[in-house]
Structure 1
Amino acid sequence: MGFYGTVFEFIDMRSFSNLWFWIMLAVVWSSASHWVLGVPFDMITRARRNPRAAADLEALAAINANRLIFIADEAGLWLTALGSGALTMLALLGFVYGSEFSQAVFLLAAPLSFVFLLSLRTARRIVAGDGSAETLRRRLGLHRIVVQAIGLVSIFLTALWGMHQNIASPYL
């Protein structure tokens, strides 16, 4: 067996029956809910008790919010065009042409695009907000809850689709 045969045997392109896909799915959603707008959630909880941590939270949230808004303002049109084109390509390859790998990537990337839009909206609210630490903690906490809800629904739907693919697959 050649190099490519070994690689494709190790990285099975049938994603929904592959343990690596499910580990990656869990890591992606765990990271997305822990890093709220680039701010680790433990910093948000520490900021409630420690004034120094609250100042760090305000600074880090402002830096990340301004960075995200700058990226969206400068390259938002291109990001929207490329992102929607990539999602459309993945959806067509996966659900029209039957590529299981494309289905898996689409089921991972589509909800993350909603998380990106939610993060952009939250960043704009942080920059336009009153700047108090309590308002910032509340806003970031609410953002985290919504990201967790999106992740929960995404994992549930991906698991349903993966079970369907594994049961309906003729290659078992």
Structure 2
Amino acid sequence: MPRPEGILALLDSRSFGSIWFWVILTLAWTLAGRRILGVPADVIAGAIRAEPGPRDDPAALTLLDWLSLTLPRWRVDRREGPVLMGLGAFLLTTLAILGFGYGLEMAQALVLLILPFALLFALELRLARRLRAVLAQAEVGMPVNEAGLRAARLMRRHRVVIVAMSILAVALTAFYGAIWMIVHPFGH
């Protein structure tokens, strides 16, 4: 049976001084902005450039097709939501207590890495709910170009939020990591 000291020693490994932590942080935020709800950025950009008119623009149709394929994955049932939120809150609270209460560097780094992505996940669920409404309107008669443009604008606005969150999260993590390294030059 593993001893608690061994598990705590693993969590206390150097995070802010490791190049791998910074590579993972940068890579995670880079990949977060590449796709919105699984839809590539170039599909969204094409739908924004769609011209209004009587004919359905292929770019708007492509975006609506992507949404009809990806949005069902972003549906959280009424019973799943509280369980998912409870598990996430438990995980983040446990890491925060270990990190900021007991001073474990790895737990602090994980909180700074996971917490913004938890907020981003909540925003993406909200965006998916809004896009489902747009898709439902398109199915009952809204012109395809208008529905595609409306969906693309919502997704572009969400991408701006992702970029702002990524800049803020990386800057705050770098600032906190620098302070940690100054205060704990030898990792203790």
Give the TM-score, by structure 1 length. Answer: 0.85
Q: CA separation in 1, counterparts of 2:174 and 2:80?
A: 34
Give the alignment partner of residue 158 of structure 2, picking from 143, 150, 157. Answer: 143
Greater percentage in helix: 1
- Asked if 2 retains the 8 angstrom alpha-carbon contact of 1:44 and 1:137, the reply is yes
Q: Which amino acid aligns with 1:137?
A: A
Q: Which residue does the alignment assign to 1:112?
A: 117
Q: CA separation in 2, counterparts of 1:125 and 1:161?
A: 35
- Asked if 2 retains the 8 angstrom alpha-carbon contact of 1:68 and 1:120, the reply is yes
Query: Which deviations, in whole Å up to 9, do the C-alpha atoms of 1:103-141 show, x marking residues without a partner?
Result: 111101101111011001111111112441000110000
Q: Which residue does the alignment assign to 1:124?
A: 129
- Asked if 2 retains the 8 angstrom alpha-carbon contact of 1:62 and 1:126, the reply is no
- Asked if 1 retains the 8 angstrom alpha-carbon contact of 2:47 and 2:149, the reply is no
Runs of 4+ off more than 6 Å: none
Q: Which residue does the alignment assign to 1:84?
A: 89
Query: Which deviations, in whole Å up to 9, do the C-alpha atoms of 1:39-82 show, x marking residues without a partner?
Result: 1112212334574343222122233223212x354511111000
Distance 1:81 1:119, change over 3 A: same
Give the TM-score, by structure 2 length. Answer: 0.79
Unaligned runs of 5+ in 2: 1-11, 51-56, 139-146
Name the Cα RMSD after superposition. Answer: 1.8
Give the alignment partner of residue 68 of structure 1, picking from 74, 95, 104. Answer: 74
Number of positions where the alignment pairs a residue of Structure 1 with one of Structure 2: 160
Q: Which residue does the alignment assign to 2:38?
A: 38
Q: Which residue does the alignment assign to 2:58?
A: 52
Q: Which residue does the alignment assign to 1:102?
A: 107
For the pair 1:134 / 2:149, whether they are aligned, the reply is yes
Unaligned runs of 5+ in 1: 1-11
Instruction: Identify which range, 79-88 or 29-38, moves more after superposition.
Output: 29-38
Query: Percent identity over the alignment?
Result: 38
Q: Which residue does the alignment assign to 2:175?
A: 160
Please tell me whether Structure 1 or Structure 2 has the larger radius of gyration of its CA atoms. Answer: 2
